[in-house]
Amino acid sequence: MNVTATLFGQMITFIVFVWFIKAYLWEPLTDAMDSRTKKISDGLAAAEQGQKKIEQATIEFSTRIDEAKTKASVIITDAESKSKTIVEEARVSAREEAQKIAKTSAQQLEQEVNAAREKLKSDIAALSLLCAEKIITKEVDKNMHDQIINEVINK
Amino acid sequence: MDNKAPATDSPVEYIQHHLTPLSAGEGFWQINMDTMFFSMLLAGIVMFIAYRVGKNISPGAPSGMQNVLESLMDFVNSLVKEAFPKPNKIVGPIGLTIFVWVLLMNAMDLIPVDLLPKLADMAGIHYLKVVPTTDPHTTFAMSLSIFLLCIYYNVKIKGFGGYMKSFMVHPFGIYLAPVNFVLTLVEELAKPLSLALRLFGNMFTGELVFLLIALLPWYIIPIPGSLWAIFHILVITLQAFIFMVLTIMYISMASEESH
């Protein structure tokens, strides 16, 4: 083999070929592949983060739910006991009130009865006096009349 | 059987005819038209495909040719990353180019040996060597380009003095400098020589075997022909791969800091 123009021609072809591949294929394709690699790894990282967030949210959710449940049950028991006490109190006060009312009404009644009795007594006395006056004006028989008056009063 | 007569009548002439390149010019200006034509044609096809893929890159969802080229690039890149501790911008494209180009030029071997020469003969071209890698000009062109790049890297990384020093002190120490110089010189020169001759030799003998098979009677040809072709697919790929790997290795050795 001699050193010929063919050799140099092939060398030039080779060098141009390498340059062309580097400029028009290798570099853009490498960039594209790198950006894809980055995108994929970013996406995977984001997905993992999302998964983590979901897990955290689930945990938080369940704790919140538990808290709410306990709170609710506390509130319910509270309310129940409160309502019981209120009802009890109401019952007690109602009873007391009723007793009071009954008592006062009984006293009043007694007073009124007494008053009526007193009034009746005085009325009867007045009436008897009136009767006595009338009788006296007609005939005076003190003993007999006294006996009658006493009988009336005692009645 | 008249049209087979020349082949079987004078096998030596037939083979010699097939191994004569279509050349123009004398001495230094000898230009092997067939070698240049087919290598440039294949390079042109690859460049065309590369240009089209490179212009329409879809970073998100690659498809078709882009997938093929991406997997090839990954393949080359994995080899480069093994050999190079620090990133190097030019080795990857060189490796890819060599692999694809050598593979395609070798693959011309699988076209029936008589087909293209016969067609050319009809068109008035009487000599045609179809496989560019059976021309040592092609293989030496690549290996010498790589050799020059290696020298460039040696000088760039080690400095001219450092490079010369590596000739003197390797492998026996400074006291045997002349011996070292000869040995290292032979070692360095053997790299491009072996690189070029390995590919050339493999392809040349492969072509020769195809020619010998073509000399057999037509009813025997299919059996050894197909067997050799199937085996040759392996040789083609292997030689392209070896050329690429050795190129990467040589450049990585040249760009090492010190021995």
Taking residues B40-44, report their average pLDDT. Answer: 92
Query: Is pLDDT of A56 > 90?
Result: yes
User: What tokens were used for B35?
Assistant: 């070698």
- When pLDDT is averaged across residues A124-151 and rounded to a whole number, the result is 77
Give how far the C-alpha of residue A45 lies from the chain's centroid of Cα atoms, to the nearest Å. Answer: 46
* C-alpha distance from B108 to closest chain A C-alpha (Å): 17
State the complex-level ipTM.
Answer: 0.84
Contact at CB, A17 and B66, closer than 8 angstroms: no
Question: Hey, are the CB atoms on A25 and B35 less than 8 Å from each other?
Answer: no
When pLDDT is cut at 50, 70 and 90, the band that residue B9 belongs to is low
Of the candidates B141, B72, B148, the one whose C-alpha atom is nearest the C-alpha of residue B105 is B141
Q: What is the mean pLDDT of residues B217-230?
A: 89
Q: Is B202 a catalytic residue?
A: yes
Instruction: Determine the pLDDT at residue A139.
Output: 66
In tens, the pLDDT along B156-184 reads: 888 888 888 888 887 777 788 888 888 88
In chain A, residues with a C-beta closer than 8 Å to the C-beta of B38 are: none
B81-85: average pLDDT? 85
Give the pTM: 0.72
> Does residue A19 form part of some domain?
yes
**Once rounded to an integer, what is the mean pLDDT over residues A88-117?**
91
**Domain of A53, in residue numbers:** 9-154
Nearest residue, CB atoms, A21 vs list B27, B29, B97: B97
Q: Which residue has the higher pLDDT, B230 or A154?
A: B230
Mean per-residue pLDDT, B62-66: 83
Cβ atoms within 10 A of the Cβ of B10, count? 12
Query: How many Cβ atoms from other residues are within 10 Å of residue A86's Cβ?
Result: 10
Q: How far is CA A144 from CA A135, A137, A155, B70, B80, in A?
A: 11, 14, 17, 153, 159
Chain B residues in contact with A26 by the CB 8 A cut-off are 73, 92-93, 96
List the single range of A3-7, A12-16, B69-73 with lowest mean pLDDT: A3-7
Q: Quick one: tokens of A51?
A: 């998964």
pLDDT of residue B57: 82
A115 in any annotated domain: yes
User: Percent of chain B having pLDDT more than 70?
Assistant: 95
Residue pair B247/B94 in contact (Cβ under 8 Å)? The answer is: yes
% chain B with pLDDT above 90: 31
Q: Is A3 part of any domain?
A: no
Residue B1 pLDDT more than 60?
A: no
B105-142 pLDDT, tens digit per residue, is 999 988 888 888 888 888 888 888 888 888 888 999 99
Q: Which of A89-98, B19-28, B216-225, B248-257 has the lowest mean pLDDT?
A: B19-28
Establish if A2 belongs to a structural domain: no
Q: Residue range A10-28: average pLDDT?
A: 90
Joined together, the tokens standing for residue B151 give 């020298």
Among B23, B28, B36, the residue with its CB nearest the CB of A3 is: B28
Q: How far is CA A83 from CA A76, A93, B184, in A?
A: 10, 15, 106
Total count of domains within chain A: 1
